[in-house]
Amino acid sequence: MGIVYILLIPLGIERIIVPLIEYSVESVLYVTNTIAELKYLIIPIHTFPALSVVVITLGLLWLCLWEQNWRFLGIFFIILGICFGVAYKTPDILVSADNVAIKENDTLLYSLTKKNRNFVVKTWARQNGQDKVVNHAKYNNANKRLQCDGDGCVYQENGKSVLLADKKEDILKHCNNVDLILQLRRFDYSACDTRTIRYDELEVYGTHSIWLIRDDITVKKARSSRPWHKA
C-alpha cells in the first residue's frame, strides 16, 4: 500500500488511498491492542532453575537428533525437567541495596519499600510468577511471616529467623535472637556474632536471594568476586 502511495505522488492523486491506508493501520492497532488486553493470554509461572532448563534441553536434543525408537527417551527427560521446575522453590527473601521483598504465606512476594514499579522489583515479581509486587502493608493475613515493631522487622519461616535492620538499635536488640541479619542501611554497629549481610555487600554483589530451610539458610548472590563481575 505504501508503494502504491509513492507511485501516485507524481500524478498528484495519492490522497485517494490515504483513507484506505489509515483504515489498515487502525485495524492492525485495534487487533494488537485487543490481543494485548486479553487477561489470560499469558499465564505467569515462576522461574525454572538452571538444572531444569538443562535437563529439558538435553531431552529435546535427544528427541530431535536420534532416529531410532530410543529417541522417545527424550520425552522422559523433558517431563523430568518440567517436574524439577514445578517443584522449584523461589526465594523467601530478595534484597538489594535499594529494594527488599519477602514471601508471605500465600507464596506471593511483597515489597517493603515504595519502589514497587522499578525494573528490579518487576523482575523479581516475574521470577515468582506474579504480574507485580504489592506493598506488604496490604497483606492483611494475621499469620504473617514478617513481624515489625519499633526494634526492627523479623522474618520467620521453617524455624529460622532473619532480621531486617534499618538502624543499629535493631541489631543490638536482636543480635543473639536471629539466624541472619540483613543490614538495609549504611550505619556503624557493635560487633555481632550472628551471620550478617552488610549493606556494603548488597552494593557490591547486587541482589541476594535467600531461602529459609529447616537445616540452614541458603544465600545466593547476583554477582561474585570473580574479575568479570567486578564493577
Long-range contacts formed by 109-112: CB under 8 A, 24+ apart: 109/133, 110/134, 110/135, 110/136, 110/138, 110/139, 110/146, 111/135, 111/136, 112/136, 112/146, 112/153, 112/164
Residues 137 and 223 in one domain: yes
Q: What pLDDT digit, counting tens, does each position of 108-134 carry?
A: 888 887 666 678 888 888 889 888 888
Residues 148 and 114 in one domain: yes
Residues 119 and 204 in one domain: yes
Q: What is the mean pLDDT of residues 18-22?
A: 81
Give the domain extent around 80: 50-87
Distance between CA atoms of residues 118 and 202, nearest Å: 17
Residues 130 and 157 in one domain: yes
Does residue 14 form part of some domain? yes
Q: Pick the more confident residue, 126 or 13.
A: 126
Does residue 174 form part of some domain? no
Would you state the pLDDT for residue 225? Answer: 56
Q: Is the pLDDT of residue 144 over 70?
A: yes
Q: Is the pLDDT of residue 31 over 70?
A: yes
Would you state the pLDDT for residue 8? Answer: 74
Q: What is the mean pLDDT of residues 94-105?
A: 90
pTM over the 0.85 mark: no
Q: Is the pLDDT of residue 62 over 60?
A: yes
Does residue 178 form part of some domain? no
Q: What pLDDT digit, counting tens, does each position of 186-230 carry?
A: 888 877 889 999 999 999 888 999 999 888 899 999 876 555 455
Would you state the pLDDT for residue 46? Answer: 87
Does residue 62 form part of some domain? yes
Q: Number of folded domains in the chain?
A: 3
Residues 214 and 125 in one domain: yes
Residues 104 and 207 in one domain: yes
Distance between CA atoms of residues 202 and 212, nearest Å: 19
Q: Which three cell numbers stand for residue 199?
A: 549493606
CB atoms within 10 A of CB 19: 9
Most confidently predicted of 33-37, 59-63, 144-148: 59-63
Mean pLDDT across the chain, nearest whole number? 85
Tell me the sheet residues that pair with 210.
Answer: 93, 219
Would you state the pLDDT for residue 191? Answer: 78
* DSSP-assigned states of every residue in 106-117: TS-EEESSS--S
Q: At what angle do helices 50-65 and 73-87 cross, to 10 degrees?
A: 170
Distance between CA atoms of residues 129 and 109, nearest Å: 9
Would you state the pLDDT for residue 229? Answer: 52
Contacting residues for 222 by C-beta, under 8 A, at least 6 apart: 96, 205, 206, 207, 208, 209
Does residue 11 form part of some domain? yes
Percent of the chain with pLDDT over 90: 35
Residues 109 and 135 in one domain: yes
